[in-house]
Structure 1
Amino acid sequence: MSFKPPIGWNQYYKSVISKTRLLIKKGIWEEIDELNLNRWLTNFKTDESKYLSACMLDALTYRSQKMCHSMMRKILSETIPNYCRSIGIENFQTLSEWKSSIKDGNQLVRFTPVSISDGRVKSSSVVIRHFIEANDIPQRCVQQTENLERAIENGTELIVFLDDFAGSGHQFNKFMKQKKLNEFESRVKFLYTPLAAHKTAIDRIESKHPNVKVLPVEILDEQHEFFNECLDGFFRGDQTNTVHDAKEYYEDYCSEIFDNTKYLFGMSSQCLTYSFFLSCPNNNLKALYHEQAPEWKRLLFRGRN
């Protein structure tokens, strides 16, 4: 094992921790408090592991409630009306007219949560609740999958699926199959608007379901992956460690502690460090959200009610 902290790592570590504490104190990283941070940092005992923890914190992208609400408003005010125009679904002349029609409960568009029965943490109901709050629209604009037939009969032309994140695309494809939504593809348009999505998910979903357009607010790709190799070949550009050595060290360090190492590098091994205030997708590094008392304390929560 040749992974080692580079020269000056201790100063880097202190700088990252200081920056993180400031983000927490200012409420930018809400739903994370200093106690969470301090507990999580105790997971790392050696210089090598402390350096790795600083790299994870430095790479972490955290979307607060304010940011998520801004993303949700963009979905309603830009993404959806632009898509409606592109496919010829229009009954509005201005953006103001569009927003008014939605708030009045216009039947043209209905919003549906992406929810499957698999026993896992579900954030869809939380996303829907915040979407309604962020855009000040009535609850009647939300349509559950079991009521889509009635909605279409009443004039709905576009179903917008709301979600926080699409990493691999497998979960959404499972949702389409489980709810038998293919039966409606010839009668209504489908738009999937997660707050963020990995390019892999977009490609997989649109390939499997040509009638589903995927338009996330934010698109991630391999460059957002924690163990992505930089142009110079070094891990996080540290001029000391290869990506292979860093990845091997992370795996060995966590495997010695975790009882369950499934998704150690995240689902589909996407190695992400990207979280929302309301959820932490399991495409993230497991070290960020794993909880195994007393051996390992989490920094992020998989989901909140």
Structure 2
Amino acid sequence: MNIDERFDSIIDSFIENAELLIKFNYWDNLTVRKLHGWLSNFKSREEKYLAAAILNSIIFRSEKAKLALSENIFHILLPQILEENDVYTIKNIKEWINDLNGRSCRELPFRFAAINNVDGRAVKSGEVILSAIQKQFFESTLTVSLDAANSLIEKGKIKALIFFDDIIGTGTQFKTFYEKSLLSTKKIKVFYIPFVAVANSYKDLESEYENLFIRPVEVIDASHMFFSKNNIALNVIDSLSHEDFKAFYLNLCRKNKINIDGNLGKGNLELTYVFNNSTPNNNLSILVHHNDQWNQLFKR
């Protein structure tokens, strides 16, 4: 693969844009110094163009952005879901927030729970998100363990259980949790609300269980894959195709002994979708890889 000096201005432009996003705190977990450290991993013009194209493709969700997503859930999505499924009717947002934080909140016919016990371990992203959302929007007594939820279900005290997550990538992690917890056998409606979901994955997952309802705040699809034909940064050089860039990327990973989930992200989803406190495993591995010879950009 060969890229000549005519494209240096594009490289510079993409990097300058990333620097501005950091300086204006849109990328609020990163410093310009760390950005330059990551860029120093790339030596040739071709490698630098690839790195710049990756930076240009990043969708980043800052702390403020996550708060906006959470507000969307509690002001719009969740009230709609509860009413549509005959669980609870919200008269107005002010009364709704009061209900979630009042003394009688335990009488509400739903509870919030964390996704856990997947392969014998807790799912960090779901627990962190639930904790952050709870502090912002509802009384902690509405958060329950699965054992407590099962007791409430058996007594007929709740009609729905609600889970939050950062992303549905392949959906396999939640499927494992759902089946291990036997939720599909319970007489309850389960609402699973991720900040973002891959379109086909979440629809396929939802279709497998009658009592599961998935409502992502944001939906992404194949056009968001880094090596998609929709990636404008990879369309600029007429002599190079998206497949050329993919082959070059994979070779760069091999050369630098990078090997995480096949390097295209779990499920080969090729994402560049990052949260300020986590990087989903469906992302390109080059975003999170680190060792003594390679400077990391984002933490996993």
TM-score, scaled to structure 1: 0.90
8 A contact 1:112–1:145 mirrored in 2:
yes
**What whole-Å deviation, never above 9, does each CA across 1:11-35 have from its counterpart, x for those lacking one?**
1111111111111111110111122
Report the AA paired with residue 46 of structure 1.
S
Q: Match of 2:289?
A: 290
Give the Cα separation in 2 of the matches to 1:279 and 1:252: 26
Give the Cα separation in 2 of the matches to 1:206 and 1:109: 20
Alignment pair present for 1:264 and 2:263:
yes
**Segments of 4+ in structure 1 off by > 4 A?**
none
**What whole-Å deviation, never above 9, does each CA across 1:252-289 have from its counterpart, x for those lacking one?**
01111125353300011000000111211010000001
Moved more, 114-123 or 41-50: 114-123
Q: Match of 1:147?
A: 148
8 A contact 1:29–1:64 mirrored in 2:
yes
Report the AA paired with residue 273 of structure 1.
T
Give the Cα separation in 2 of the matches to 1:290 and 1:116: 26
8 A contact 2:194–2:217 mirrored in 1:
yes
> Aligned to 2:261, what secondary structure does the other structure show?
coil
Q: Match of 2:100?
A: 102
> Aligned to 2:229, what secondary structure does the other structure show?
coil
Q: Match of 2:176?
A: 174
Q: Match of 1:117?
A: 118
Report the AA paired with residue 252 of structure 2.
Y
Report the AA paired with residue 169 of structure 1.
G
**What whole-Å deviation, never above 9, does each CA across 1:96-137 have from its counterpart, x for those lacking one?**
2222111222432211122233358722221112112332x2
Moved more, 110-119 or 23-32: 110-119
Alignment pair present for 1:275 and 2:274:
yes
* Larger relative contact order (Cα-Cα within 8 Å, sequence gap ≥ 6): 1
TM-score, scaled to structure 2: 0.92
Moved more, 112-121 or 25-34: 112-121
Q: Match of 1:221?
A: 221
Structure 1 gap segments, 5+ residues each: none
8 A contact 2:192–2:215 mirrored in 1:
yes
Q: Tell me the percent identity.
A: 26
Q: Match of 1:164?
A: 166
Give the Cα separation in 2 of the matches to 1:231 and 1:70: 26
Give the Cα separation in 2 of the matches to 1:121 and 1:156: 24
**What whole-Å deviation, never above 9, does each CA across 1:139-172 have from its counterpart, x for those lacking one?**
1121222221123226221111111111011111
Number of residue pairs matched?
A: 295
Report the AA paired with residue 128 of structure 1.
L
Q: Match of 2:245?
A: 246
8 A contact 2:53–2:234 mirrored in 1:
no
8 A contact 1:227–1:247 mirrored in 2:
yes
Give the Cα separation in 2 of the matches to 1:92 and 1:261: 45
Residue of 61, 75, 78 corresponding to 1:77: 75
Taking only aligned residues, the RMSD between alpha carbons, in angstroms, comes to 2.0
> Aligned to 1:8, what secondary structure does the other structure show?
helix
Q: Match of 1:208?
A: 208
**What whole-Å deviation, never above 9, does each CA across 1:19-63 have from its counterpart, x for those lacking one?**
111111111101111222121111111110100000000000000
8 A contact 1:73–1:134 mirrored in 2:
no
Q: Match of 1:255?
A: 254
8 A contact 1:114–1:124 mirrored in 2:
yes
> Aligned to 2:113, what secondary structure does the other structure show?
strand
8 A contact 2:253–2:259 mirrored in 1:
no
Aligned pairs for 1:224-235 (under 5 A) are: 224-230=224-230, 235=234
Shift in Å, 1:194? 0.4
Give the Cα separation in 2 of the matches to 1:111 and 1:246: 44
8 A contact 1:289–1:300 mirrored in 2:
yes
Give the Cα separation in 2 of the matches to 1:282 and 1:191: 23
Give the Cα separation in 1 of the matches to 2:174 and 2:128: 17
8 A contact 1:289–1:298 mirrored in 2:
yes
Report the AA paired with residue 227 of structure 2.
F
Structure 1 residues 244 and 21, CA gap change in structure 2 (3 angstroms): same
Q: Match of 2:91?
A: 93
Give the Cα separation in 1 of the matches to 2:261 and 2:126: 23
